[in-house]
Amino acid sequence: LKFKKNLKFKALLYLKLFKKYFKKITASLIMLFLLLTIFYIIFCEIVLGFSIDNKAIRQAAKYLFVPALISNSGSVDFYSYKDRLADELNIRGKNVDVRAITKNELLKQIVYKKLAKEYGLVVDSSNLMTDLEKRIVIDKEKNQISLARIAKINDLIKQGKTFEEVKKYSDEFESGVYMENDLAQEKFGRLINYLSEGKTSDILVGDNGYYLIKKNNQNNSLINISYIFIKAITLDDYVNNKLSNLNVLSLVD
């Protein structure tokens, strides 16, 4: 019984000590956090306000992010903005709104990087733009309307409608076009070689949209086709749409 009382007393004592020091430690951590936050804000205000640019501050900014542009898709640091502004000024001169151009180009980079991550592409690749342009054409989610349109036209053709009858639903229509075989393969893919004369292809994916192709005839070097084309969303379309919906706070105006 005495042992239990002693154990209970010690437990209560330890609990009081824990509460006492826990409050002190918590208060100290909160104070430290507030001080660091104030220091960070002052640091950013000084860098942005005086546009400080030297080796030491640039090195510090690698660890203390100094925002120039803040958006709901990402942020741009001050020195990336400053360097890009200088580049644009050298290229375009002072007769245009270089600041607006710089902001727009840097915000585009945010959209490109986010899209690259979505597609699992290497952000720093020299072929990034080409890869993005190819991937966005085959992105079913982003091309739901275009794919629905070409699918509807395909259904009508399978029901017996002619190209002439359904061309009004297309973005582009060509009838009886002669093309070199190599050029046709490059534009529409090798499957066009296996399409029988007088037959219509399934939906084919091109560089910038979707095709339905009817092979009229073919010889050794030339192929005669008719085609219906539906435009896919382009990378520029996608990026411009994203930019129009961005909420941007600029700290460099």
**pTM: predicted TM-score of the whole model, two decimal places:** 0.82
Q: Classify residue 250: in a domain, yes or no.
A: no
Residue environment code for 227-242, b if the CB has 16+ CB neighbours within 10 A, otherwise e: bbbbbbbebeebbeeb
Task: Print pLDDT tens along the chain (253 aa).
Answer: 555 556 666 667 767 777 778 888 888 899 999 999 999 999 999 999 999 999 999 999 999 999 999 999 999 999 999 999 999 999 998 889 999 999 999 999 999 999 999 999 999 999 999 999 999 999 999 999 999 999 999 999 999 999 999 999 999 999 999 999 999 988 888 888 889 999 999 999 998 999 999 999 998 889 999 999 999 999 999 999 999 999 999 999 8
The residue type at 129: M
Name the domain count of the chain.
Answer: 3
Same-domain pairing of 43 and 89: no
In eight-state DSSP terms, residue 167 is: G
Distance CA 108, CA 102 (A): 10
Q: How far apart are CA 133 and CA 208, in angstroms?
A: 8
Q: Do 95 and 151 belong to one domain?
A: no
Tokens read off for 157: 């053709």
The answer to whether residue 204 is domain-embedded is yes
The closest of 46, 107, 106 to 80, measured between CA atoms, is 106
Write out the residue range of the structural domain in which residue 129 sits. Answer: 67-137
Q: Three-state SS for 37?
A: helix
User: Residue 243: which of 31, 45, 100, 93 has the closest Cα?
Assistant: 100
**Residue 2 and residue 43 in one domain:** yes
